[in-house]
Structure formats: structure tokens, C-alpha cells
Amino acid sequence: MEPNPVAPPAATLENPAARLSLPVEGMTCASCAGRVERALRKVPGVTEAHVNLAAERAEVTGAAAPAELAAAIRAAGYAVPEVERIIGIEGMSCASCVGRVERALSKVPGVLSVSVNLAAEQARLRLLAGTGDAGLAAALARAGYRLAAAPDDAAAEEDAAAARLTRQGREVLAAAVIAAPFLLGMAGMPFGLDWMPHPWVQLGLAALMFGWFGPRFLRAAWGALRARTGNMDLLVSLGTGAALGLSLWQLWRHGAGHSHGLYFEAAVVVLFFVVLGKWLEARARRGTGAALRALLALRPPTARRLDPDGTEHEVPAAALLVGDRIAVRPGERIPVDAEVESGEAGVDESALTGESRPVAKAPGGAVSAGTVVLDGRLVLRATAVGQDTTLARIAALVSAAQASRAPVQKLVDRVSAVFVPVVLVIAAATLTGWLLAGAGFEAALLHAVAVLVIACPCALGLATPAAIMAGTGAAARAGILLRDAEAIERAHSITLVAFDKTGTLTEGRPRLAALHPAPGMEAVDALALAAALQAGSEHPLAGAVLAAHGAPPPAVEGFRALPGRGVEGIVRGRRLVLGSPRLLAETGAAPSALAAVAEAEAAQGRSLAWLLDPAGPAVLALLAFEDAPKPGAEHAVAGLRALGVEVAMLSGDIAAAARAVAARLGITQVAAEVLPGDKAAQVQAWRQEGARVAMVGDGVNDAPALAAADLGIAMGTGTDVAMAAAGVVLMRGDPGLVPAALDITRRTYGKVKGNLAWAFAYNLLGLPLAALGLLSPPLAGAAMALSSVCVVANALRLTRWRPAVRVAA
């Protein structure tokens, strides 16, 4: 019998709102990225396509099949890595199930083909590399089936990437062995020593080098020519091909006795340095994506699902559904977002929030996927799985940020579009110029080859994305999520940070700040009486009193709430009331000795409550409450001042309360009694005064102000509305992360500018030097390889960044 679908079909790339990320291999420079983008945009149904050269991925939005996109990338001369998988499927019962499963799986972004075997209860999939199990499991669940088994894609992709890097390393060693005789010969030249191999040995070594490494450059160059564009491979192919051709001509014309007219060393050594540079660049680029890989590695591959009778079964974590019960033992990672049903344990959440201290969890508490149970066994009920978990959303946000383009990248794109044609023109002009100046054809050609080889569009293309990837990854490790590259560009110029007070700078809940007993009354006794009256109250101040008392309060009889005024009840045979100054006036009790104290507490913005005996009437005690600043608030203000940023505070509280908190934190600009709708207007007013404003908030009423600011910063402990309006999300409610966020954005933007300056300066200086004959082709090749490595290595320094501001425990 055919099961009924449990949900509508999944959104796929056929849905105009769908988005797909495709891995792309073979790109070497910004021109390659541009060619892939143009090829993807020509696919019918594609509305937007962006390529991240550093991440080697293409982000595509629109209505087009993944297979069509992969075909377009291959037609442009690049590779789209694919994998084949076999997964187990539970619940199939007839031939019609086969069709339904195939249709469900084929709609998952990244699935290229599906073949289902009913007898084996398996499906064979052809997928784009990196397609995860979560989407497959969700699609099957919507069709009424369950994923039974699936390998860990993240681990498989990690192994494949490591294997590619190892293979590149072996190729570098092989290229070094081939180039070594030429390097030795070049080392003897300055001393008049002829250490070059025999011409026929040179030919053999050159043939070996070009036979091994030449085809990859030639294929990429031919692809560029077919697409009527250029790239680094075209420049390298032309340069080394010209040197090789000239050497062959000289060898054929003059024979083996004319060894000093051969230039095999130029071609071989240039290829060696290019291969070496690409390997070093790949190693460095791998480091820039380490943070995202670390996030993805937090997902455990399996989980212990509980049957209704409590029996544990180990299943793939991707097969879990919302509502499943899961057991997690000490030392294990939690596989999904869940609510604790039973058990108590400390949970290490540092990988998600950056908070190093364990967080205690008890029944009713929420836990997140990827966190570690330190002690005790927890039984959980899944509340979010797959791409809906906090871990997956963080990883998606980091991935999107790393794939995003900074506005400054538009300049690089314009330069890259004409870079290779301009270099070809310069090379041709160099050849012509030297010939007209009377130089021989050999010398003129070598100078032109040096121009072709030293030009490096790779450094230009990697300058921005490498820094963005490294910066966003470093920030994510500290619990700071940078939404996109534009947020980084906006954040570096912030001059004023405005904090919402409640819940952002303060704890957001009242605490008992002071208790002043009347003469003849002990503070301990007064607190016990107040706690007894508050035991049955739901008022926020009740929790503060009970927390301050910390022990079971005395019994209360005849408890009654007095709306808008307080509470009353009989404690220890005595009728008492606890309430506002209005209740004090109603009872007619005189504050007497506590009147001055009450004025002083009110001047600090604290809320007052009076403990009274109405029979007297008599005042027994005065209780003062405050919303205390968070432990990291003072450090945050000091950290921002150290960065040269002014600090302001917005609050809907009364002016006295707002000024009291501001004074404690050292904030001089305070806007108090501001209605939620007026917060955005205040932010606009600061901007009109010339300030570049960042707004920090956590509530729904902060969203308009977050959107109105130059940069919105939302606390991850706040609402989804606030986080959606923000360019930066802090994964824990620590205001000390705000200066850290501005610090990492400034450093990241500084790396972007530094990388671009280096890349432009390198080409602006290197091309003229090569054209003037001051650089030989081998030296130009070494410089070209070094330029890309320097750009990525400079960006990689960001991965060592750690927040400077620490919150006191």
C-alpha cells in the first residue's frame, strides 16, 4: 500500500526562490570566476550567480536544474565534482513507491540523478559534492518514508580535499626534481659557471615537465579562448610555450652545441614555480575555510533514538525527525536541537557561543546540535533537525558571509575583466619595442615571455574573498556571526555604538539591590516576611525577592493580590502587605526614618516596595529593586572607547533609571523614556549629525532601530525579528562581544585593503620591470607564484585573532 505524503513537496531549484551552492574546480584567477558567472547566468531560469574564487564555489539563485548548471560550468572549461551514494530507505512497499521516492529525491538541490531499487530498499544517487543528508532525509519524510542509512558527507568531502592536497604535494616534489638541474645551472650563471645539463637532457626534462603538467594549463587556456576571454592559464601557456618553442627552434637550427641559446630552463622553472605556488595557495586557502569545516564537523554522524519502550537504536543523525526521543551519554555530542525530557547535566556550548563555562541543563531546558554533554545522561525530544538546527543555521550564515562580495570587489571585477587582454597587449608591445630598439628576436621574445609570466590576476581575485573567509571564520569561533561582506565594510567605519538598555546592557530582569529594615526590625526577618508574601505572586519582583531569600519562605495564609498596588497575606499570624508607594499612601503609614533612604534609592532609578503592617499602620522595611548591568557591560564600554568609538544608550525607562545605569557604565549620551517607535528616529538623528551608528538590541521593538542604523548588531539571545534586521549577530548575550565584533571587522577590512594594495602594486611594478628587461622569465614566474601565496597568507593571519575583551566571571 502506498503511504500518503505528510507534507507538500520540498522547495528546489525549480522554485524561483531556491538557492544552490555548487563546487567548481579548475579556477585559477578572477577571470575564471567571471567566466563561470557568465556561463551560469546564460542558463535559462537563473536570476543570480556569484562565484567565490577562494571558496571555489558558485552560488546560484533561480529556476534551473542542477544538472543544467553543472553542464554550463563544464562547457566553460571547469569541473563540477560529483559523488555517487547509496542510501537505505524504509517504508517502500510497492512499485509506485519507487516513483514517488525518485521524484522526492530528484527535487533536492544538488541531486543529479536517482535510481531506486525496491528489492534492496536502496537508492543510488548521483550528487554534487557536498550535498548533505539532511535535505535527503527531509524530502523522504515529506513523501512518507525514512532515511535508513547514509554516510557522513562532511567527512567524505574532508577526506577528498585532504587527498587532493596530498596529490598536489606529490606533484610539487616531482616538479622540483625535474626543475632541480635547471635551478642548479641558473645558480652557477652569476659566477660564470656552466652547470646547465646537456641540451638533449634539457629537452628530455622539458618534455617530461610539459607532458606531465602542460596539458592542464593548455586545456584551461583553450577553454578560455573558446569563451573569448583570458585567464592565468592562457598567460602561462603562451609564455612557457614561447620559451619552449624558441628553444626547440634553436636546437633544431644550431644543434646540441648551441646550449647557451636554449631557454628550456625558463619554461621548466616557470612551470615549477606555478605548480609550487598553486600548492602553497591551496594549503593557505584551506586554512581560511577551517572555521566552517570545524562547525560542520560538530555534527555527530549517528544518534541513539529511543523507541516508545525506551530501547536505544543507533541511527544516522540525518534520519532523525522532529519529535524523536534521543538519548545522549556523557562525552557525546548532541545531534539535533532538542528539549530536555529527563536527566541533568552540564553542557559545553563553547563551539557555538564561545562561552567556555559549562551550562547546566535540566528538564525543560533547550539544547543545541553540536554541543557536548559533559556529565550525566540526557533524554531529549528533537525540536529542530537538519538545516533547521542552530548549528546548521550558523554554518549557513557563515557560508553565506564567506561567499558574499564586498562592494570594493566591484572594482576588482572591472579590472579583472580587462586584465588579461591588457597584459597580452603589453607583451606584444614589449616584443615590438625591443625589436625596434635593435635587440635580437630572442631577447625581445624573452622579455615578452617575462611580461606574460609575471602578470597575476590570481592575486587580484583572491585578495577580497580570502580575507572575508578568514575574518568571518575567526569571528564565528568567538561567537560573532558576520552576515555578509557588506556588513564588514560598513562596520569598519562605525563612530558611535548605541545600546538598547534592557536585556542588552542589563540583565533584563530585576534583582533586589537593597533592603532597609525599619528600626527594631532585623533585615533577615524582613526578607523572610517579604518572601512569604511573594511566594504566590507572578510579578517579576517576586522572583527577585525569592532569589534573594534563597530558602523556603514561611507559610502564608489568606494570600491576595492587590492589582496595581501589591500583595497581602497573613504570615506568622500577622496580616502584612507588600507593595508600591501608592499602597504606602493608602495605608497611611509614615516612612519616618526611611523617607530619606527612599528618596536616595529613587534618585538612582530603583523601583521601591514597602513592607507594611496595616494594623499600626507601621513600616517594616523598604525594598529597592534594579535591573543590574551585565558583567560584561562595563568592559564593553571601555573596549569601544579604546577603539575610538563613542557610546550611547537608548531606553524606554524613566530618566532616573536610565541615567543611573549609564553613570555606572561610564556612558554620557543617554536617550531615556524613548518609545519603541521613536528609537529609529533617534538613530536617524545621530546619523544626521554625522555619526556612523551601530545599534545593539535584542527585542522585537529594536528591529526598526537596527534596520535604521548603519550597522545592526543583534544579541543571539534575542528575537528572530531582531536578528533578521541585523548585519552582525552575537551568539551569546555578552555586550563585551560588541567591541570584539568591531575589532575583527576592522582587521578584516584592513586585510582586504592591504591585499588589494599588494595585488595592484605587484602588477603595476612587475609588468614594467619585466617589459624593461629587468626580470628573467624564471624570476618572473617565481614572483607570480609568490604573489598569490602572499595574499592568502596575509589573510590567513586573521585566523589567529581572538577577542581582546574578556568578561569577568
Neighbours of 191 (CB within 10 A): 7
Task: Give residue 329's identity as a one-letter amino acid code.
Answer: R
**Adjacent-strand bridge partners of 86:** 124
Q: Which three cell numbers stand for residue 743?
A: 575589532
Q: Which of 159, 278, 148, 150 is nearest to 216 (CA)?
A: 278
Helix axis angle, 30-41 relative to 457-477, nearest 10°? 80
Residue 695: partners with Cβ closer than 8 Å, 6 or more residues away: 497, 498, 500, 650, 679, 683, 702, 705, 706, 708, 709, 711, 712, 713
Q: How many angstroms separate the most distant Cα atoms in the chain? A: 124
Element (DSSP H or E) covering residue 174:
helix 153-188
How many residues are recorded in the chain?
A: 809
Q: What CA dihedral angle connects 254, 257, 258 and 259, to 10 degrees?
A: 140
Task: Please answer whether residues 296 and 399 qualify as being in contact, where contact means their C-beta atoms are separated by less than 8 angstroms.
Answer: no
CA pair distance 58, 552, nearest whole angstrom: 61
* 500 labelled catalytic: yes
With contact defined as beta carbons under 8 Å apart, do 76 and 85 qualify?
Answer: no
760: Cβ contacts below 8 Å, ≥ 6 apart: 460
Nearest to 53 by CA among 484, 470, 462, 469: 462
Q: How many helices (H) and strands (E) does the chain have?
A: 26, 29
Beta bridge partners of 729: 481, 714
Active-site residue, from 153, 337, 500, 653: 500
List the beta strands (DSSP E) in 53-141: 57-62, 82-90, 111-117, 122-128
Alpha-carbon distance of 150 to 136, in angstroms, equals 10
Amino acid (1-letter code) at residue 610: W
Q: Which residues are marked as active site?
A: 500
